[in-house]
Every structure is written in structure tokens, then in C-alpha cells.
Amino acid sequence: MADSQLVGNLKAFVGPKIDSGGKGWCWESVLALAVRYEWKVFNENVPTKPVQGPYWTEHFQSTGSAEWDDVIARAGARVRDEESPYKQSNYAGDAARLALARRMARILLEERKRAGLGDD
């Protein structure tokens, strides 16, 4: 089960992104924020990392750690697969956003463990 603080942070981070209409952000950008706050992994002096979709390119702030950036990229791809097709209306209510945050937290923790960066 995902940590309640991680779930709460993900819900808080993803809410405004969804409200923006889905433009100018990607799942990885939300996950990178969670990594920054949950595990204090960040470096302000590194460039953003591109995320390429079939018809779009977005970016997320690199953590400065290749291992963590890989975790974020893999988790973002998995979230994208599970949430496809993305529709803003899927996340209109608080319960839907909480469920999304729980799924994102589960995936992030699984990828973190897979990378050998944690046990939970």
C-alpha cells in the first residue's frame, strides 16, 4: 500500500494539471515533483528531460540522478498506458483524483523498488 503522504502529494500535484485541460504537462512531470518532495531527490541546475509521444513532446525536470530519472520515465509510461485514453472528465471528482493518485503512487513505488532504490 502506498504511503498516504505520497498519495496526498500526487493528488495535490496532479489536480491543477488536470484542471489546466491537459496541456503543457505529462505524467512524468507530476511524478518528478513527487520524487522531489518524497525522497528529496533534485538538482535545480540540470536540464529538463523530454518525453516523446506519437504527436507531442513534453518535458519534466530532471532530478540530476540517472537512476531516478529512469524510474520516473518508466513509471510515467506505465501511468500513461493505464490511463489511456486520457480524458479530463475521467478525473472530475475528488474520489477519481484520489484513485488516480493511488495508482500513480503504486506504480512509482514498484519502479523505485525495481531500480533498487527502496524496499516499499
54 within a domain of the structure (yes/no): yes
100 within a domain of the structure (yes/no): yes
> For the whole model, what pTM was predicted?
0.90
19 within a domain of the structure (yes/no): yes
27 within a domain of the structure (yes/no): yes
- Calpha distance 53→103 (Å, rounded): 21
What are the residues whose beta carbons fall under 8 Å from the beta carbon of 18, sequence distance 6 or more? 88, 91, 97
pLDDT (tens place) for every residue of the chain, 120 residues total: 568 999 999 999 999 999 988 777 899 999 999 999 999 998 878 878 888 776 677 888 889 999 999 999 999 999 999 998 888 889 989 999 999 999 999 999 999 999 999 876
What are the residues whose beta carbons fall under 8 Å from the beta carbon of 10, sequence distance 6 or more? 30, 31, 34, 100, 101, 104, 105, 108
Q: Would you state the cell numbers that stand for residue 116, as one nine-digit string?
A: 533498487
Range of the domain at 43: 4-114
Q: How many domains does the chain have?
A: 1
Question: Is 35:71 a contact under the CB 8 Å cutoff?
Answer: yes
Give the CA count within 13 Å in the CB-facing half-sphere of 53. Answer: 17
Give pLDDT tens digits for 31-58: 999 999 999 998 878 878 888 776 677 8
120 within a domain of the structure (yes/no): no
